[in-house]
Amino acid sequence: MNQASEKVLREEVEKRRTFAIISHPDAGKTTLTEKLLLFGGAIRLAGTVKARKASKHATSDWMEIEKQRGISVTSSVMQFDYNGHRINILDTPGHQDFSEDTYRTLTAADSAVMLIDVAKGVEAQTIKLFQVCAKRGIPIFTFINKLDREGRSPFDLMEELEQVLGIRSVPMNWPIGMGRELSGVYDRMKNQVELFQGDDHSQIKVQKVEDYHDPIIAEMAGEYHANQLAEELELLDVAGDPFDYEKVKRGELTPVFFGSAINNFGLQTFLENFLELAPKPAPRKSTEGEIEPVREKFSGYVFKIQANMNPAHRDRIAFLRIVSGKFERGMSVKHVRVGKDIKLSQPQQFLAQDRDIVETAYAGDIIGLFDPGIFRIGDSLVEGQTFEFDELPTFSPELFSKVTVKNALKHKQYQKGIDQLTEEGTIQVFRTVSFDDTILGVVGQLQFEVFEYRMKNEYGVDVQLQRQPFQFARWIVAKEIDPSKFRINSTLVKDKKGNYVALFENEYAMRTAIDKNPDAQFLEMAP
Ligand code: G4P
């Protein structure tokens, strides 16, 4: 690589920020995403994200909707530019679309924005997504939304972040009043107040101040609010965590921003601070050690495969996170698992509902590759020296069904379908140790529906799914396993690699099994 192109690669990597927004449904993710896209001048996208959201559909409608809308239903990637940065937002679907793909998508992000409703605090889906990010140790930024509504006290919310998620927090700004009484926020980093103005709160006034004792605040926001603000910030200064960038980078401390996405309030400060603090594309582990984004040769891995995007064909799109180098349309790369060179000729980038053909892309970007059935989750595509990226984690399923084929004559196709859909990551498959039954495991109900639909439409097999009462799966690592210890409210199965996994009906059964097997390890992810 010559010096000029090395410099370009460095600059391109430096300006990229690839992140996912994690939240519970209704916290305002769609609204926040749309506002961020608008900041980036992606005006033509205004409404698209919302339109997509408007189809709050029943699960059973999913296939029809998928057919009509192509990519729009399941997660995609949005890209925009702001202040010299190139931003990739990875969409993590909520509601019924929640699936293992949602978790895998998080592995392609370098940081996460955790969006929380000020009235509801930390909710179930946020906890699950947070845990996946926390395991990777990526930086997590918190945006507390809907400040224009009555909500919980900021101190209370910080306490909850620590108690429920186990993460310390450092408020970057602080609300002045709340709900109908909200007059603005105090920016602790820049020492300035941002005030709502006008009856509809549509204008925002920014005023630099000395510190939070500055009398200007009382003039602007009233004596009562100014006093309360000073009291609370004093308490934070004394008892709160100081801002520590190293801890933020390790995911041990989350910077917290307060605002209201729908009113655009606090968003610009959030975006600008976030872009400054969020990490550029990070290296990824491989069989040849860590692969740095500025490695001159291209490399990347597939983290998600989306089938049936085009109803007329059985096309799939393989989503690839570029880990290093520069991608150019038409380039040849090695598909490491199959040991062949392939040409990347129809790459796509996803902007909400539009699909654009990409000519070039850099480390940190996500591209969609046309997949005639040659990719699997976790596949590595590399240029130059051959290596493979570390396997993607297998996430613990929470819903289980016993699967049987209705017509015994179709057994061969049935087996082929199960094998392929497992490889694609649509479902996880287990076999019970006692009766050799086939049990499917998923993290979202939609995965069962996709499985049933695709078995019928792609393999011509009608399957019967029978829900099982289990809620937890734990991979067991032990010298010896005694199946008799897994009889009460639990069952022992093997995954497709032959690892033992225990399925439990409730937490009590799980605790009991853990107590009864002190020499065994019970893992949430496959070893
Ligand atoms: P989601 O993608 O996380 O599920 O949430 P979404 O953005 O759809 O927001 C959920 C609801 O919360 C929407 O109202 C949205 O308008 C509202 N919302 C988002 N941000 C704010 C905010 O800062 N303040 C207030 N007060 N509301 C906010 P909805 O009634 O469900 O939908 P809609 O009819 O308004 O579209």
**93 CB less than 6 Å from ligand 1?**
no
The contacts found for 215-223 with CB under 8 angstroms, 24 or more apart, are: 217/176, 217/186, 217/193, 220/183, 220/184, 220/193, 220/195, 221/176, 221/177, 221/183, 221/184, 221/193, 221/195, 222/183
- Residues 355-375 have a mean pLDDT of 83
Task: Decide: 30 in ligand 1 pocket, CB within 6 A.
Answer: yes
Find out whether the beta carbon of 201 lies less than 6 Å from any atom of ligand 1. no
Average pLDDT over residues 76-99: 80
Which residue's structure tokens are 């240029």? 383
Banded pLDDT at 95 (limits 50, 70, 90): low
Task: Provide the phi-psi class of 356: left if phi over 0, else alpha when psi is between -120 and 50, else beta.
Answer: beta
More confident residue, 335 or 393: 335
What pLDDT digit, counting tens, does each position of 35-70 carry? Answer: 888 877 653 333 344 444 444 433 333 344 344 433
The CA 146 to ligand 1 mean position distance, Å, reads 8
Q: What's the rounded mean pLDDT across residues 320-332?
A: 94
27 ligand 1 Cβ < 6 A: yes
Whole-number pLDDT of residue 313: 58
3 state DSSP class of 220 = helix
Cβ of 352 closer than 6 Å to ligand 1, yes or no, is no
Query: Mean pLDDT, to the nearest integer, of 116-135?
Result: 94
pLDDT tier, 415 (very low <50, low <70, confident <90, very high otherwise): very high
- Band (pLDDT 50/70/90 cuts) for residue 198 is low
Cα 27 to ligand 1 centre (Å): 7
Sequence-distant (6+) residues with CB within 8 A of 3 are none
Q: Which of 328, 322, 255, 335 is nearest to 282 (CA)?
A: 322
**In this prediction, what percent of the chain has a pLDDT beyond 90?**
58
- Ligand 1 contact, 107 CB (< 6 A): no
Q: What integer pLDDT is reported at residue 96 of this predicted model?
A: 58
- The pLDDT assigned to 294 comes to 97
Q: For residue 333, which of 404, 381, 400 has the smallest C-alpha distance?
A: 381
Kindly report the number of other CB atoms within 10 A of residue 318's CB atom: 23
Q: Which atom of ligand 1 is nearest to the CA of 31?
A: 7
Residue 26 alpha carbon to ligand 1 centre in Å: 6
Q: CATH 2.40.30.10 residue ranges in the chain?
A: 284-382
* Fold assignment, 399-523: Alpha-Beta Plaits (3.30.70)
Residue 215 binned pLDDT confidence (cut-offs 50, 70, 90):
very high
- 242-267 pLDDT per residue, tens: 999 999 999 999 999 999 999 888 88
Mean pLDDT, range 516-520, rounded to an integer: 89
Centroid of ligand 1 to alpha carbon of 357 (angstroms): 32
Separation of alpha carbons 171 and 159, rounded Å = 12
pLDDT of residue 107: 93
451-492 residue pLDDT tens: 898 898 889 999 999 999 999 999 999 988 888 878 788 999
Fold held by 14-172+243-277: Rossmann fold (3.40.50)
With CA atoms as reference, report the closest residue to 158 among 256, 227, 22: 256
> Where exactly does CATH 3.40.50.300 map onto the chain?
14-172+243-277
User: Is 262 close to ligand 1, i.e. is its CB under 6 Å away?
Assistant: yes
Residue 314 Cβ contacting ligand 1 at under 6 Å:
no
Residues 6+ apart with CB under 8 A from 405: 411, 414, 461, 462, 463, 464
What's the pLDDT at 71?
32
Ligand 1 midpoint to CA 32 (Å): 9
**Per residue, what are the HEC states of 137-178?**
CCCEEEEEECCCCCCCCHHHHHHHHHHHHCCEEEECEEEECC
User: How many C-beta neighbours within 10 Å does residue 2 have?
Assistant: 8
Dihedral sign, CA of 112, 118, 121, 124? Answer: negative
Residue pair 240/171 in contact (Cβ under 8 Å)? The answer is yes
The answer to whether 23 is a known ligand-binding residue is yes
3-state secondary structure 416-478: HHHHHHHHHCCCEEEEECCCCCEEEEECCHHHHHHHHHHHHHHHCCCEEEEEECCCEEEEEEC
Highest mean pLDDT among 30-39, 199-208, 247-256: 247-256
- What are the tokens at 240? 């709160």
Rounded to the nearest integer, the mean pLDDT of the chain is 86
For residues 463 and 452, is the Cβ–Cβ distance under 8 A? yes
For the stretch 141-197, pLDDT in tens is 999 999 989 999 999 999 999 999 999 999 999 999 888 888 889 999 999 998 877
Are the C-beta atoms of residues 337 and 379 closer than 8 Å to each other?
yes
Q: Which atom of ligand 1 is nearest to the CA of 149?
A: 26
Across the range 115-123, mean pLDDT stands at 97
284-382 maps to which CATH number?
Answer: 2.40.30.10
CA of 256 to the centre of ligand 1 (A): 20
Asked if residue 261 has its Cβ within 6 Å of ligand 1, the reply is yes
Give, in order, the Cα–Cα distances in Å from 99 to each of 128, 363, 515: 11, 26, 31
| Closest ligand 1 atom to Cα of 54 | 36
pLDDT reading at 391 higher than 50:
yes
366-383 in b/e form (b: 16+ CB < 10 A) is bbbbbbeeebbbbbbbbb
Indicate if ligand 1 lies below 6 Å from the C-beta of 148.
yes
At 191 the pLDDT is 92
450 has a pLDDT exceeding 50: yes
Query: Is residue 403 very low, low, confident or very high in pLDDT (cuts 50, 70, 90)?
Result: very high
Tell me what pLDDT residue 516 has: 87
- State the pLDDT at residue 314: 62
pLDDT band at residue 73 under the 50/70/90 scheme? very low
What share of the chain in percent tops pLDDT 70? 87
Q: Whose CA is nearest to atom 11 of ligand 1?
A: 26
**d(C-alpha 110, C-alpha 18), whole Å:** 6
Residues 420-430, mean pLDDT to the nearest whole number:
88
Distances (CA, A) of 363 to 2, 40, 296, 387, 388: 18, 20, 10, 17, 16
Q: Is 28 annotated as a binding residue?
A: yes
36: Cβ below 6 Å to ligand 1? no
The pLDDT tens digits for 262-271 are: 988 888 889 9
Please tell me the residue having the least CA distance from ligand 1 atom 29.
26
Is residue 416 predicted with pLDDT exceeding 80?
Answer: yes
pLDDT tens-place string over residues 491-508: 999 999 999 999 999 999
